[in-house]
Structures are given as structure tokens and as C-alpha cells.
């Protein structure tokens, strides 16, 4: 009898587990579909769509004009595409302008005199720093 009860319990548990597995698989499929749609929305082709609220801004005449203009044949659209060309967005820098500017300036030679004591202290400090860096790299 104990074996029969145990078998029934295990069968019930097995059925419950198979039901939860089916539910989880269905949930995974739904989430995969959601991910697929979101990826398509984020990374897919984008086209500009007009909203009804956007159209209410335009008058009826402008709307009819838009509808008439949207009926362009393929030939006309290719003509428009061939007429378009890339335009440089910033001006090209002129060449040689800096050299001309520098040549026009007066050249003055300035000789700075340093005190010997100041130069020696700076050199000592630089040597001490270089020595410390060299020792740190060896360690």
C-alpha cells in the first residue's frame, strides 16, 4: 500500500511538473516574441510616420497638396535623386595663409638670463626625480 501511495504521489508531482514546464515554455516563447518585436522596433528600418495629431496642424488645402505630391511616379523620383549631390558642410581651409601671416610679423630675438643658482637647484631637483622614477621602475 505504501508503494501505491508513493507511486500516486510521484505521478501527481510529475503531472504538476510537466504543467509548470509547459507554462514556462509558453512564457519563454512570449518573451522571445516580445524581444523580437522590440529589436525590430529599435534596430529595424525606420520610416517617418505622420500622427493624426500632426496632420491636424495642416489645413485641408495643404493636406490635399501633400496627397497630390505623394503621387509622384518612379521616374520623377529617380530624377530628383539624380539631381541631389553631396554638399560640403564646412569650408575648406585656405592653404598657406598661416605662413603668410607669420612672414608679415616682425621677428624679435629675446635672450633670457637665468641666475646660475636657480638653474643648479632646478637641475638637482630634476635629477632627484629621475633617480626616484628609475628606482621605482626597477622595484
How many CA atoms lie within 13 Å of 75's alpha carbon, on the beta-carbon side?
A: 0
What pLDDT was estimated at residue 72? 52
Residue 132: per-residue pLDDT:
87
Q: How far apart are CA 6 and CA 136, in angstroms?
A: 73
Phi-psi label, residue 91: left if phi above 0, alpha if psi -120 to 50, beta otherwise: beta
| Binned average pLDDT, 10 residues per bin, the chain of 139 residues | 89 95 95 91 73 60 66 49 60 73 83 82 90 82
Instruction: State the DSSP string of 78-106.
Output: HHHHHH-----SSPPPPTTHHHHHHHHSP
Q: Residue 13 half-sphere exposure, CB side, CA atoms within 13 Å? A: 6
Q: Give the pLDDT confidence score for residue 74 in this predicted structure.
A: 45
Amino acid at each position: 500500500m505504501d508503494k501505491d501511495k508513493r507511486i500516486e504521489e510521484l505521478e501527481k508531482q510529475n503531472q504538476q511538473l510537466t504543467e509548470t514546464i509547459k507554462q514556462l515554455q509558453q512564457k519563454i516563447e512570449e518573451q522571445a516574441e516580445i524581444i523580437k518585436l522590440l529589436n525590430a522596433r529599435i534596430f529595424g528600418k525606420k520610416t517617418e510616420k505622420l500622427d493624426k495629431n500632426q496632420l491636424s496642424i495642416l489645413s485641408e488645402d495643404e493636406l490635399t497638396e501633400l496627397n497630390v505630391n505623394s503621387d509622384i511616379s518612379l521616374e520623377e523620383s529617380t530624377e530628383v535623386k539624380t539631381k541631389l549631390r553631396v554638399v560640403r558642410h564646412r569650408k575648406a581651409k585656405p592653404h598657406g595663409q598661416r605662413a603668410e601671416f607669420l612672414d608679415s610679423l616682425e621677428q624679435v630675438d629675446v635672450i633670457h638670463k637665468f641666475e646660475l643658482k636657480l638653474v643648479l637647484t632646478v637641475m638637482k631637483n630634476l635629477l632627484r626625480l629621475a633617480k626616484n622614477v628609475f628606482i621605482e621602475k626597477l622595484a
